[in-house]
Amino acid sequence: MIKHFIHSIVLIYSLLGWGLGSAKGQEFPWSLQYITNMHTINPAYVGMWDRAGFMLSTRVNWVGIKGAPLTQNFTYFTPIKDQKSGVGINIQRLNTGREKRLFLTGDYAYQIRLDMHYYLRFGLRAGILNVDNNLLDYQLYPDDIPDPEFSSDIRLYYMTVFGVGAVVYNEDYYVSLSVPQMVNNTFKVNRSNYSSLPELKTAYLSSGYIFKLPKSIRLRPNLLVVGTKGKPLYFDAAAVMYFPSDFQVGLNLRSNGVMCFSGQYTFKNNLRLGYAAEFFIFTDIRKYQFGTYEFMVGYDFNLYRKKYVKPNYF
């Protein structure tokens, strides 16, 4: 069992390490509440559990700063028959200032059983990205002096999105690694060396364990390490407490001096409501904004009408 587990970890690192070393991409936008929606950063999680469902979220960054990023995301996910595979659809919109990005991607995951307790899942993400940045909308100088570099629109439709992910898990813990975007995209304009997005490529390594506490309470610590080429490593230490009343609370401490609080409640009709708030603790930016907030609505349903549905802790 341990031998299979070690071999799986080596295989995951080999495949995704090759992706980081040979491809150029950019940091993929992700959710404040990723810890309870792991499929948002790793397509291998799609369809892992018995239920199908959808999630709709809105994230408002750095309230009080004009033109700060606004992210909206819709996701549908479902297992296929016996959970050996799963599929998902993602629609994500990211507005930063006057620049608009629209992601349309699909996920596919396939599962291999290693032994009686351990599973290995691989995931693929592919789709298109639309970028719209009208340079004529920018007012650069108070006296309206024209700038030749901002004299025409820059737009490109149907840029490529492609990513991979993998996770080794059992019912109590997991280790996952993903590279959500492995393709380098550039604008097709009559300008030399102009890139549409930062030349970044990011990998997400995550691991967690489910502790069983008295009165059917579950505690799940999680460590996320984000590595981007040319940037320092980023760490996110989190913990989620699951209560039997379908209520959960979470706390994230991040290496960039940020603290995040989150909460989620699931109603009897399987409707989920989530909320997260992120605040800077040490950096000076906290003086100029009032935090980052995310609202989430989800709904899960028993697509194949199974008599027993396993609880989803990650």
Residue 193 falls within a domain, yes or no?
yes
| Predicted confidence (pLDDT) per residue in 25-55, tens digit | 334 556 888 988 899 899 999 988 878 999 9
Residue 241 falls within a domain, yes or no?
yes
What is the span of the domain harbouring residue 170?
2-301
Residue 127 falls within a domain, yes or no?
yes
Residue 311 falls within a domain, yes or no?
no
| Predicted confidence (pLDDT) per residue in 151-195, tens digit | 665 666 678 889 999 999 998 999 999 988 877 665 555 454 445
Q: Tell me, what amino acid is at 47?
A: G
Residue 120 falls within a domain, yes or no?
yes
**Taking the alpha carbons of 233, 234, 237, 238 in that order, is the dihedral positive or negative?**
negative
pLDDT at 251 over 90: yes
pLDDT at residue number 160: 84
Residue 83 falls within a domain, yes or no?
yes
Q: What is the mean pLDDT of the chain?
A: 81
pLDDT at 310 over 80: no
**Entry pTM:** 0.82
pLDDT at 281 over 50: yes
Q: Which residue has the higher pLDDT, 134 or 118?
A: 118
- CATH value at residue 120: 2.40.160.40
Q: Which residue has the higher pLDDT, 195 or 68?
A: 68
Q: What is the mean pLDDT of residues 111-120?
A: 91
Residue 313 near residue 38, CB atoms below 8 Å? no
Residue 294 falls within a domain, yes or no?
yes
Domain count, the chain: 1
The contacts of residue 23 (CB under 8 Å, 6+ apart) are 179, 182, 183, 184, 201
